[in-house]
C-alpha cells in the first residue's frame, strides 16, 4: 500500500498528514507526486506507525471483575499514583505502556482516583488475565511512548487521541483535568497539541471545558 493510500485511510489531508508525522509538507507532496522517493527505511517506519495508528486507539467493552482473574495492587493502598503504577507494573512482570488515565498519572497531569479500578495499557493480549486491565492494542509506535518515573506511557498527544477515540466508554474527568493543567502551565495555550482531523470538533469542545475546569 502506498503512503498516499495509507494517508487517505487515516482521513488526513496532505497538510494534516505532514503535521501528524512531523514531515515537511513539500516533502509529502513530492513523495505523492513521484518527484521524490522516501528512503526505504523511512517508508517502512512510516508504514509501521500509520498501521499502528489505524489498528489501535479504540476499544468497545470494559472488562468485568472475575475471581478467575489475577488481582492487581489496589490504588487505595498506595500514597501516590506513581507508586501504585510501579507496583502494578511489577505485578504484571513485564514492561507495559500505560495509556489514558494511567499515562496522565505517569506524566503528573492527573492524580487519579482513590478507588481506581481500570488500568489502560498497550501490551500483550494476555495482560487481560488481570482484573481491571484494558488492553488498547498489542503494539504501539515508539514515537508515541515516553518514560516517566521508570514507567513507559503514551505521550500527551497519543493519550489525548486515545481518550477521544474511547470517549463513549471513558470517564473524561482525567483528560479534562489534564488538559486544563496543560493549558495553564503552557501560558494559557494548547500549542504543541495535535489532534487527528476526525476528532478536531470534539477536541474544541473538550478544550473549552478544560479552560473552565478550575472555575466551575
| Element at 97 (helix H, strand E) | strand 97-98
| pLDDT digit string, tens, across residues 168-205 | 888 888 999 999 999 999 999 999 998 887 788 999 99
Q: Specify the range with the lowest mean pLDDT, choosing from 2-6, 85-89, 128-132.
A: 2-6
| pLDDT digit string, tens, across residues 47-105 | 887 877 666 556 656 777 888 899 999 998 998 899 999 999 999 988 899 999 999 99
Q: What is the pLDDT of residue 104?
A: 95
70 DSSP 8-state letter: B
Residue 114 has pLDDT above 60, yes or no: yes
Q: Give a yes or no: residue 129 inside a domain.
A: yes
Where in the sequence is the domain holding 132, given as residue range(s)?
Answer: 75-215
Q: What is the pLDDT of residue 210?
A: 93
Average pLDDT for the chain: 87
Q: What is the pLDDT of residue 153?
A: 96
Q: What is the pTM of this model?
A: 0.74
Q: What is the pLDDT of residue 19?
A: 80
Q: How many domains does the structure of the chain reveal?
A: 2
Q: What is the pLDDT of residue 10?
A: 64
Q: 175 in helix, strand or coil?
A: helix
Instruction: Please classify residue 153 by burial: count the beta carbons closer than 10 Å to its beta carbon, then call 0-12 exposed, 13-18 middle and 19+ buried.
Output: buried
More confident residue, 78 or 137: 78
198 DSSP 8-state letter: G
Stretch 155-159: mean pLDDT, rounded?
Answer: 93
Mark whether 148 and 192 lie in a shared domain.
yes
- Count CB atoms within 10 A of the CB of residue 19: 15
Angle, alpha carbons 61-194-139 (nearest 5°): 45
- pLDDT above 90 as % of the chain: 47
Q: What is the pLDDT of residue 97?
A: 95
Residue 11 has pLDDT above 90, yes or no: no
Q: Give a yes or no: residue 81 inside a domain.
A: yes
Stretch 120-128: mean pLDDT, rounded?
Answer: 89
| DSSP string computed for 99-161 | -HHHHHHHTTS----TT---EEEES-GGGGGBTTEEEEES---GGGEEEETTEEEE-HHHHHH
Q: What is the pLDDT of residue 179?
A: 95
Give the confidence band of 2 by pLDDT, cuts at 50, 70, 90. confident
Q: Give a yes or no: residue 191 inside a domain.
A: yes
CATH number where 35 lies: 1.10.260.40
- pLDDT above 70 as % of the chain: 93
Q: Give a yes or no: residue 12 inside a domain.
A: yes
The dihedral built from the CA positions of residue 11, 15, 21 and 26, taken in this order, carries a sign that is: positive
Stretch 128-133: mean pLDDT, rounded?
Answer: 91
Mark whether 85 and 139 lie in a shared domain.
yes
How far is it, in rounded angstroms, from Cα 42 to Cα 48? 10
Mark whether 100 and 191 lie in a shared domain.
yes
Give the confidence band of 115 by pLDDT, cuts at 50, 70, 90. confident
Mark whether 39 and 146 lie in a shared domain.
no
* Segment 11-20 long-range contacts (CB within 8 Å, at least 24 positions apart): 11/196, 11/197, 11/198, 12/196, 12/197, 13/197, 16/196, 16/197, 19/194, 20/194, 20/196
| Residues pairing with 122 in the sheet | 97, 137
Q: 164 in helix, strand or coil?
A: helix
Q: For residue 171, give every residue at least 6 positions away whose Cβ sits within 8 Å of its Cβ, in sequence order, or none.
A: 101
Amino acid at each position: 500500500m502506498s503512503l498516499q493510500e495509507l494517508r487517505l485511510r487515516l482521513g488526513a489531508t496532505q497538510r494534516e498528514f505532514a503535521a501528524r508525522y512531523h514531515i515537511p509538507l513539500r516533502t509529502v507532496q513530492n513523495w505523492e507526486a513521484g518527484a521524490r522517493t522516501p528512503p526505504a527505511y523511512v517508508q517502512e517506519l512510516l508504514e509501521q506507525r500509520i498501521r499502528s495508528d489505524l489498528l489501535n486507539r479504540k476499544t468497545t467493552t470494559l472488562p468485568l471483575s472475575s475471581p478467575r482473574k489475577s488481582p492487581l495492587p489496589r490504588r487505595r493502598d498506595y500514597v501516590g499514583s506513581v507508586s501504585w503504577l510501579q507496583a502494578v507494573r511489577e505485578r504484571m512482570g513485564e514492561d507495559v505502556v500505560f495509556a489514558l488515565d494511567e499515562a496522565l498519572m505517569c506524566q503528573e497531569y492527573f492524580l487519579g482516583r482513590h478507588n481506581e479500578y481500570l488500568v489502560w495499557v498497550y501490551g500483550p493480549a494476555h495482560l487481560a488475565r488481570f482484573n481491571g486491565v484494558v488492553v488498547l492494542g498489542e503494539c504501539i509506535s515508539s514515537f508515541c511512548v515516553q518514560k516517566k518515573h521508570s514507567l513507559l506511557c503514551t505521550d500527551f498527544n497519543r493519550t489525548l487521541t486515545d481518550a477521544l477515540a474511547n470517549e463513549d466508554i471513558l470517564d473524561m474527568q482525567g483528560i479534562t483535568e489534564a488538559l486544563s493543567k496543560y493549558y495553564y502551565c503552557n501560558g494559557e495555550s494548547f500549542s504543541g497539541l495535535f489532534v487527528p482531523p476526525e476528532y478536531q470538533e470534539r477536541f474544541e469542545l473538550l478544550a473549552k471545558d478544560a479552560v473552565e475546569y478550575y472555575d466551575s
